[in-house]
Chain A
Amino acid sequence: MISAYLDRLSAELRVPARTRARILAEARDHIEESIAAGRSEAEALAAFGEPGLLAARFHEELASSSARRASAHTVLLVAVFGIAMTLAAFGPANAFGLGIVVFIGAQLAAVAGAIAFVRWLRYRSTVAVPSDRLGDIYRANALTAGAIGVVALAELVNGLGAGRPALAVGGGVLLAAASAVGLRVRSASARARVVPAAAPDEDVLDDVVAVGNRYAPQLMSAVQRTPAWLDLRHKPWRFCLVFATMCGLALAGWHALVEAGGPPDVSNVARALLAGVVIASIEAVAVIACFAAFGRFLGIRR
């Protein structure tokens, strides 16, 4: 009877072999101890619980801890990526085609990485990651690793083509790291698939608010006193327009102050303004396009 019960539990479990062996050994020990204390086999098995229910609890725990670990690896990858991109920015500019890939890929990685980072902060010390957020977490991690992988590949190709060995080696190392994290995320996400989950109703701003409440409660209480129309939670397209405008203005400002060599003189103001408007518009359209393509995937909009 005990063996049949353990066989059923084993059949229900979708966990690595080592974890399965440990769970079954502990279950056997517990049930036999229970019988030694005076229960019948049937009573001991009933008290231990229904195998399907127990397996589901283990799946939730495993999915939760796997999500946290995968997120930690992604955050580490983003940090390495940030350092690498900062160093690469001091070198010569990329060829145009590769430059576009790096430019868009790096921004996508930055946004997806920031979302992965916020979710990691939110859930890293919670008892359990809610099952309806596992998909959001894994998708942000996967997109981050993918975008970093694409940028790393472009830098590797660029380094080889332009005879810049340091860039090629850096790109190769980053590509290997992004691939390793991507594979890790993929195998961990498979554990989440056996956990039943309702459709999530929180978006990324809910994550930001939760993190703010935990790490900067005074700041958040000040933020919550702002007018209601500034609350962009669950208003994804309004949030997108604000974010796209900010990105456009930031890029136009950066171009005017850094790339164009400082504030324009009086004779060039009109030309500089036009350049700023064009750059800001292109960036804003690119952000909106990326939001349309990846917003739902990343859990920014539902």
Chain B
Amino acid sequence: MRPEALKGHLDSLLLAVLAKEPAHGYAVLERLRERSGGAFDLPEGTIYPALHRLEEAGLLRSSWAPGATRRRRIYEVTAKGRRALSGARGDWRTFSDAVNAVLAGA
């Protein structure tokens, strides 16, 4: 899948893969790849501006991992992020139901 197809959805996808447990950037990308069956294979560095943006918006928080062999930033979802994710899931359900209904009738 082309990276442009993810535009507008990347924030929700990142929140979803971090909702279960905190992770660093590489692990986030691996989870995204695994859970999408390899469909979401975007330029890896591009998740970091998105992670920073979500942190800036208060949807994620991050901290340096203690005791790691190299400096590693761990991200976790905040309460605000969980609420945003819940809203995004609802919006996506409505949107995908509507698109499916239209496409099925074509």
With A48-B43, A57-B46 as given contacts, are A127 and B71 in contact (CB-CB < 8 Å)? Answer: no
- Asked, given contacts A26-B25, A30-B26, whether A54 binds B72 with beta carbons under 8 Å apart, the answer is no
Which chain A residues lie closer than 8 Å to B53 at the CB level?
61, 64-65, 127-128
The one of B8, B11, B49, B72 in contact with A58, judged by C-beta atoms closer than 8 angstroms, is B49
Q: Which residue of B lies closest to A59 (CB)?
A: B49
* B70 sits at the interface (CB 8 A): yes
Chain B 72-95, CB within 8 Å of chain A: the 1/0 string? 110000000000000000000000
* B44 adjacent to chain A (CB < 8 Å): yes
A61 x B49 contact (CB < 8 A):
yes
CA distance A24 to B71 in the complex (A): 10
User: Which of chain A's residues has its CB closest to B11's CB?
Assistant: A127
Which label, helix, strand, loop or mixed, suits the secondary structure of the B interface? Answer: helix
Interface SS of chain A: helix
Interface residues of B in 36-56 (CB under 8 A from A): 43-46, 48-50, 52-53, 56
Contacts between chains A and B (CB distance < 8 A), count? 68
- CA A58 to CA B51, docked complex, whole Å: 11
Interface membership of chain B positions 4-19, coded 1 if the CB is closer than 8 angstroms to chain A and 0 otherwise: 0000100100000000
Knowing that A53-B43, A127-B53 are A-B contacts, what are 14 other residue pairs whose CB atoms are under 8 Å apart, sorted by A's residue number? Answer: A22-B73, A25-B70, A26-B71, A26-B73, A28-B70, A29-B70, A29-B73, A30-B48, A33-B24, A34-B44, A48-B44, A54-B45, A57-B49, A127-B8
Q: List 22 A-B contacts (CB under 8 A).
A: A23-B48, A25-B73, A26-B25, A26-B48, A26-B71, A29-B72, A30-B24, A30-B26, A30-B44, A33-B26, A34-B26, A47-B44, A49-B44, A49-B45, A50-B43, A53-B43, A57-B45, A58-B48, A61-B49, A61-B56, A127-B53, A128-B53
